[in-house]
Each structure stands twice: as C-alpha cells, then as structure tokens.
C-alpha cells in the first residue's frame, strides 16, 4: 500500500473507533445497587459453606483413622 493512504487512514480509523466506544458506553446498562438483604444472605451462605467444609474435613480425618485401625494386622 501507499504510505500516504496508510497515513491518512490511521486518523480516520481512530475517529471511528472513538465514536464507537462512546456509543457503546451510552448503550451500556448502568450498574444497579446491590440489595443489602442479598449481601447478608450471601455472607450467611458462605459461613454455612465454611462450616460444612470443616465438618467434612473432620469426617474424612475420622474415616482415615478408622481405615488405618482396620488395616493393622492383629
């Protein structure tokens, strides 16, 4: 391509891209505020999940202990 054509097309492409970004920002939905009740429920679920993970870890430790006891030769 001719260097003059390339030099002329760069600003044109930049202007079009800038306009496209501005239009996309106008059409983009605005973020909504998070419901405090929903945040509270999510935090409660995270705490429940952490407690369940702890209980599962303890159960697995007990199972491993029982398996080791049963695997010992008498």
The answer, as to whether pTM is greater than 0.75, is: no
Q: Which residue is it, tokens 């159960």? A: 59
7-26 tens-digit pLDDT? 778 888 889 999 999 999 88
Distance CA(69)–CA(27), nearest Å, equals: 66
User: 34-43: per-residue pLDDT in tens?
Assistant: 888 999 999 9
Q: Where are the alpha helices (DSSP H) in the chain?
A: 3-27, 36-71
Dist. CA 23–CA 28, nearest whole Å = 9
pLDDT of residue 53: 96
pLDDT confidence of residue 28:
83
Polymer length of the chain? 74
- The average confidence (pLDDT) of the chain is 89
- Greater model confidence, 74 or 51: 51
- Unique residue bearing structure tokens 């800038």: 18
């Amino acid at each position: 391509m001719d260097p003059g054509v390339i030099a002329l097309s760069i600003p044109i492409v930049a202007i079009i891209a800038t306009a496209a970004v501005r239009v996309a920002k106008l059409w983009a939905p605005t973020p909504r505020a998070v419901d405090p009740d929903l945040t509270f429920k999510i935090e409660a679920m995270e705490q429940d999940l952490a407690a369940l993970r702890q209980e599962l870890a303890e159960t697995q430790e007990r199972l491993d202990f029982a398996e080791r006891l049963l695997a010992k030769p008498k």
